[in-house]
Amino acid sequence: MDVKLWNDKREREMYDNFADLYAIIKATEKLEKAYVRDLITSSVYEPECLKLIAQFKTLTSSLVGALPSIERFAEIYKMDCPAALNRLVSSGIPATYEHRASAAASTTGSAAVVAECVQHFITAMDTLKLNMVAVDQLHPILYDLSGSLNKLGILPPDFEGKVKMKEWISRLANMGASDELTEQQSRQLHFDLESSYNLFMAALPNSGA
């Protein structure tokens, strides 16, 4: 006799999402352990970790209200995945980024600011991927990113990320709170964020240097 876990299409979709969430947490735990044990290189670990973090954020945003907390989810399904929970919930960025932040701290004493910048960059790009393109959704995120970039002494005043974020903040300030970016504007903002982020990471001292 088959046992049905759901009563309708909506419940079935919820359980499918739970299964995906379970798989993401398990995959992250395996990835973290492989990296710690030096079974994979940083160049392999970093993009995979970024992908899992993005998938996690996208999925959990669709489960708001259906899930009390990720920790509770792990407890219910008896998941012993401390490394994954730390990476996905507590940190939100790959371990390699944390290492770069530590390297920057040895030069600038600004590890917390570097971590802030990384988190703001990722949040901004994830917001666009989730099609959250209203001015009142984007402006505070870009404002926080700009503020963090300006606090970091290793970046010059004409650093592209600083200039681009200032331009976008000014543009959004001249729009209404409920106005939304067009598809072309959204793509351009994502491009500017991604290029600025890559330049930002390149500007950080190398942890292996």
Reading the chain (209 residues) residue by residue, the pLDDT tens digits are 454 555 667 778 888 889 999 999 999 999 999 999 999 988 899 889 988 988 888 888 778 778 778 888 999 999 999 999 999 888 877 888 777 666 655 555 567 788 888 889 999 998 898 889 998 889 989 988 998 888 887 888 889 999 999 999 888 888 888 899 999 999 999 999 999 999 998 888 764 43
pLDDT given at position 103:
60
Q: Are 55 and 100 in contact (CB under 8 A)?
A: no
pTM metric for this prediction:
0.55
